Amino acid sequence: MTEQQLITALCNGEETAFKELVNQFSDRVFKAPLGLLQHQQDAEDIAQEVFIQVHRSISQFKGDSLLSTWIYRITVTKSLDHLRSKKRKKRFGFVRSIFGDNNQPIVDPGDLIHPGIIQENKEDAAILFKMVDQLPENQRTAFILNKVEDLSYREIADILKTTESAVDSLLQRAKQNLRKKLSEQINNSP
């Protein structure tokens, strides 16, 4: 099925087309939030929400980009929304903890190291992801899409609706910031 045929079939509500869409994109749609959120269950929830959103709004897809680009945009938006919501809960959780909340964790801290990481690199990757988590949102997104999703600058620019040179700039700043944070971390560690 070509992309256009798939879109037409989805607009007609054909379940086989939807299944085909999920089969084609599920890995990518799962991987991106996994890199951004570093939480397996959250990543699966986000992936489900992305497909539900696609199912609802496929008729609004104008075809001015590739279907994959459109789906990635929804994925990144939902992942970032989830991250912001988690941060708000964390802040509110601190207030709740002052008044006592039976010592229950307010926010699940996440358990993940990306499953695709080689065993011997897991410890270093855990440190890296922790630093990536502290980057500004746009740098973090660009870094994850490039390093984890292995997308080209062109693809990242399409998803973020920016230019390739802007993506390059984001990645350069991300790497500089990461090196700086890692250097501080190493200096402060015993």
Residues that bind other proteins (CB under 8 A): 19, 22-23, 26-27, 29-31, 34, 40, 44, 47-48, 51-52, 55, 114-118, 121, 124-125, 127-128, 147-148, 150, 175, 178-179, 182-183, 186-187
Closer residue to other proteins (CB): 4 or 183: 183
3-state secondary structure of 2: coil
Residue with smaller CB distance to other proteins, 103 or 126: 126
Nearer to other proteins, 121 or 152 (CB): 121
Work out how close the CB of 5 gets to other proteins at its nearest, in angstroms, rounded to a whole number: 20
**In the complex with other proteins, which residue's Cβ is closer, 70 or 143?**
143
Name which of 26 and 169 has its Cβ closer to other proteins. Answer: 26
CA 187/CA 181 separation, integer angstroms = 10
Q: How far is the CB of 115 from other proteins (least distance, A)?
A: 5
Tell me how far, at minimum, the Cβ of 33 lies from other proteins, in Å.
11
Task: Determine the length of the chain.
Answer: 190
DSSP 44-90: HHHHHHHHHHHHHHGGG--SSS-HHHHHHHHHHHHHHHHHHHHHHHH
At a CB cut-off of 8 Å and minimum separation 6, what does 59 contact? 11
CB atoms within 10 A of CB 109: 8
Report, in Å, the least distance between residue 136 CB and other proteins.
18
Nearest Cα residue to 153 out of 134, 136, 172: 172
**Shortest spacing between CB 14 and other proteins, in angstroms:** 14
